[in-house]
Amino acid sequence: MHDLLKTHFGYTDFRPLQQDIINTILSHKDALVLMPTGGGKSLCYQLPAMYFSGVTLVISPLIALMKDQVDSLKANGIPAACLNSTISFQEQRDIEQAVYRGDIKILYVAPERLALPSFQDYLKSLELSFIAIDEAHCISEWGHDFRPDYRNLHLLRRQFPHVPCIALTATATERVRLDIVKQLDLDAAPQFVASFNRENLHYHVEQKNKTFERVCDLLDKHRDVPVIIYCFSRKDTEKWAANLRVEGYDALAYHAGLEADVRRQTQDKFIRDEVPIIVATIAFGMGINKPDVRLIIHTSLPKTIEGYYQETGRAGRDGLKSDCVLFYSYGDKHKQDFFINQIEDEQERVHAREKLGQIIAFCESTVCRRAYILSYFGETWGEQNCGACDTCVTPRDLFDATEITQKILSAVIRTGERYGLTYVIDVLKGSKNKTVKERGHDQLSVFGIVQDMSKQDLRNIAQQVVGKGLLEQHGKEYPTFRMTDEGRVFLIEKKTLHLSKPKSQMAVGEREEKEIDFDAALFERLRMVRKQVASDLAVPPFVIFGDKSLQEMAYYMPQDKTAFGAIFGVGAEKCDRFGAVFLDEIRQYQKETGKTGVEPLRLRSTPKELSLKRKGSTYDATKELLAQGLTFEAVAKKRGFALSTIIGHVEKLRAAGESVSLDHVAPSGERFDRVKEAFQKTGSLSLSPVKELLGDEFSYEELRVGRLFLV
C-alpha cells in the first residue's frame, strides 16, 4: 500500500485516519468520512481504486472539481475520466467504452446523471467495484448546501447493494451527519471523524472601518499569491473588482450572473495563476481544487458558520500558512434579515435566523476563533490559546461600558430615533457639522458629551450595543437606529454593561518564519518553470507540483532523479515526466549563484526547520529552567505562564530539532502505560481521539507530556 502511495501520489506516509479508511474499503465495507478540506479525503477513495479489478464510481456535484481531479490523477499515472454536460456526445461514448473495456479505473459523474435510465442500465453493464459520494452533506436539507439531486443516491445504493460505498464531507454537524446516514443506509458503517482543526489557517475578524483601504493593505502583504475576496452580492463583486483594478491590482469578478464562458475563463485564469485575485459571491470556489490560496477575505457577513468554514477552507489546502479575514458590521445583519424575511416557509425562516445568530455570535465572541468553530462541529479542543487568531494574539479586555452606553442611547432618543450612527456620533462628539446646527441638535444636553474617545472607538462601542440588542437598525439604503424594549429597560432599571475595549487592527499577513528555510529566489524560479510546464500541458500549475514540493526542491536542491524522487509529492510518474526540467533549473541556479543545498537529501528525510529566535527567546528561558531541573509546573509558576504554554514551548523546541533536558520529568508507571496504549490504539499522535478514549481522568496537559516521550 505504501508503494502505491509513493509511486502515484509521491507521499511516504498516510495522514491520520487515511489508512484505516482505506483498509475498511478494501474489506468491502461501507464508511462515512468527515474530514476537513485539505485533510486528504480524495486519497481515501483514489488509492483503493488501484486495488479493485473494476471501476470506482465517484459522485461529485462540481464539474470544475471533477476536471481538476481527473487532471491530477492522470498526472500521477492513474487512468481516470469524468462524464458531464460540457463534453460532446462522441467524447461521452468514447469514455463509456473505455470504462467498459477496463481502461479507466476512476469515473467521476454528477448526481443528476444517475437519474437517467440509460445511465442506470450502463452502470449495470460494468464491473462496479466501489462507489464514493463526495460532498455528502449535499444530501441533507439541514446542510448549508442542500441539493435535491443527491436525494436520488439511495436508488444507486439499492441497485448495487453489495458494492461498498464511502460518503465523504468536510462540513457536517451532528444533525447533518445523522441525515447522511439515514439517506444512504449507512447505519452499520463505521464513521471516521477527523479533527476539523485547520492548523495552518489564521482567523481574523474585524469590524468594518475603511474596509477598502484595509483590504488593499492585506493584498500588499500577499503579493503574487492567489486570493479570494467574497462579497455579499453580484453588484458588490463588480464594484470591488473595478475599484481594485483602478488601484493597480489584477482582479476579476465572478458571479452567477456572468455568461458561462466568462465564468469559465475567469476560473481558468485563476487556477492557472494568470490572475491572482478573484472577487466573488459564495458560488465561487465550490469546484476549485486550488491548493495554494493564501488569503480569503469576507467583505460581509457569511450566512452560516458551515458556509464560513467551507469558504475559508479553500485557503491553504497544501498545509501551508494562510490567512482568513472577515469584515463585518451590523448593517450586514440587516441585509441578511431582509432576505430571510422573504423566505415563505416558516420552518426554513426560523432555521435561517438561527444560523445567522450563530455567525454573529462567532464574530462577537471573545474566545478563540478556532475553539469556537470546533465546538460548533461538536469537537472539543484541548488548547486554550491557538496563537493564530485575533482573539488569541490580541485578547480583548472588557471594560465597564455602562456610562457610555447610556450616553449613546440618550443621543439616539433625543435626536428622535431618525438618524444613522454617523450622525448620532457627530452629536455626541460636538461636531460643528452644519446639519447638526440647522436641526438644533447642538442645543441638546447630549451634544459634545463624549470628548475622551475617537469617533471610530465610539462607533465600535455603538455597534456592540446594537449586538447586545439595546439598539436596532431600520431601513436598508439609509439605515436609522432606534432603541429597543431591552434598551429602555437598561436605562430605566439602570443596569450595568461590560463590553470589549475597542482594539487596533490586527497585523495580518506579516511575514513569519517559513516552515523550512528554503531559498526564496530559487523557489520563484521553480514556480516559473512549473507555470510554463503547466501551460504547455494545458493543466493548472498545482497539478504539476504543489508549493510544498517546490519549497523542498529549493531547500535540498537535489542533483539527480533519485534525490528528486524523494521530494514530497514527487511520485514515480512525475519524477520521470518532470524531473529533468526542474533539475536543470536547479543546476543552472547553482551555477549562477554558487549556492548548494543545505544538506544532502536523505531519502524521505524531514526538512530541517528554522531554528527558533535565539537571544532573549521565551523558548530559551523555558529550556534553561528545565535544564536546571525544574518541573513543568515549577517552570510555569516561575514564568507566570499556563502549564499548556510551557509544554507548547517544549513541543516547538523539539520540532525545531533542539535538545531539551527532560529526563527528570519523564512520566512512568501505570498511567503512562495507559497513555502509550491509547496512542497506539488510535494510530496517530492526535490528542482528541486519545482524550476520547481515556476520558476526563486524564487532562490534555498530561497527554501532551506523554506524547513528548513517544516521539
Res. 415: pLDDT tops 80: yes
Q: Which three cell numbers, joined as nine digits, stand for 570?
A: 514527487
Residue 239, pLDDT > 90, answer yes
Determine the pLDDT at residue 617. 58
pLDDT at 408: 93
Rounded Cα–Cα distance for residues 602 and 541 (Å): 27
Q: What's the confidence (pLDDT) of residue 516?
A: 66
Give the SS3 label for residue 191: strand
Question: Which residue, among 68, 102, 584, 412, has the nearest Cα to 428 in the 3D structure?
Answer: 412
Domain 520-593 belongs to what architecture?
Answer: Orthogonal Bundle (1.10)
Q: Using the predicted structure, report yes or no on whether residue 435 has a pLDDT greater than 90.
A: no
Whether the per-residue pLDDT at 41 is higher than 90: the answer is: no
Average of per-residue pLDDT values in the chain: 83
pLDDT tops 60 at residue 287: no
pLDDT of residue 601: 44
201-393 in CATH: which number? 3.40.50.300
Distance CA 296, CA 38 (A): 15
Residues contacting residue 583 through CB under 8 Å, at least 6 positions apart: 558, 559, 560, 561, 564
> Residue 689 pLDDT > 70, yes or no?
no
618-708: which CATH architecture? Answer: Orthogonal Bundle (1.10)
User: So where are the chain's domains?
Assistant: 2-193, 201-393, 398-500, 520-593, 618-708
Write out the E strands in 463-571. 471-474, 480-483, 498-500
| Mean pLDDT on 223-232 | 92
Q: How large is the average pLDDT for residues 101-121?
A: 90
pLDDT the model gives residue 508: 57
pLDDT over 70 at 686, yes or no: no
- pLDDT band of residue 327 (cuts 50, 70, 90) is very high
pLDDT at site 637: 84
pLDDT, one tens digit per residue, over 629-670 is 899 999 888 877 778 778 878 877 776 667 788 888 888 888
Res 475: pLDDT: 63
Helix (H, G, I), strand (E, B) or coil at 506: coil
Name which residue leads in pLDDT, 661 or 204: 204
Report which of 294, 285, 297, 326 is spatially closest to residue 224, judged by C-alpha positions.
294
Q: How large is the average pLDDT for residues 399-413?
A: 92
pLDDT of residue 602: 42
pLDDT confidence of residue 657: 60
| Grid cell of 694 as nine digits | 481515556
Contact present, 368 and 385 (Cβ < 8 Å)? yes
398-500 matches 618-708 in fold: yes
pLDDT at 655: 63
Q: Which CATH superfamily is domain 2-193 in?
A: P-loop containing nucleotide triphosphate hydrolases (3.40.50.300)
Contact assessment for residue 340 and residue 355, using Cβ atoms and an 8 Å cutoff: no
What pLDDT shows up at residue 688?
A: 61
Q: Say how far apart CA 252 and CA 246 lie, in whole Å.
A: 12
Mean of pLDDT values over 475-487: 77
pTM of this prediction?
0.61
Distance CA 29, CA 165 (A): 7
Q: In terms of C-beta density within 10 A (0-12 exposed, 13-18 middle, 19 or more buried), how is residue 270 classed?
A: buried
pLDDT confidence band for 711 (50 / 70 / 90): low
What top-level class would CATH report for the domain 398-500?
A: mainly alpha
Sheet holding 227-230, edge to edge: 201-207, 322-328, 295-298, 227-230, 277-280, 251-254
Look at residues 71, 267, 293, 90 and name the one whose alpha carbon lies nearest to residue 201. Answer: 293
Q: What percent of the chain has pLDDT over 70?
A: 90
Helix axes 402-414, 485-492, angle to 10 degrees: 120
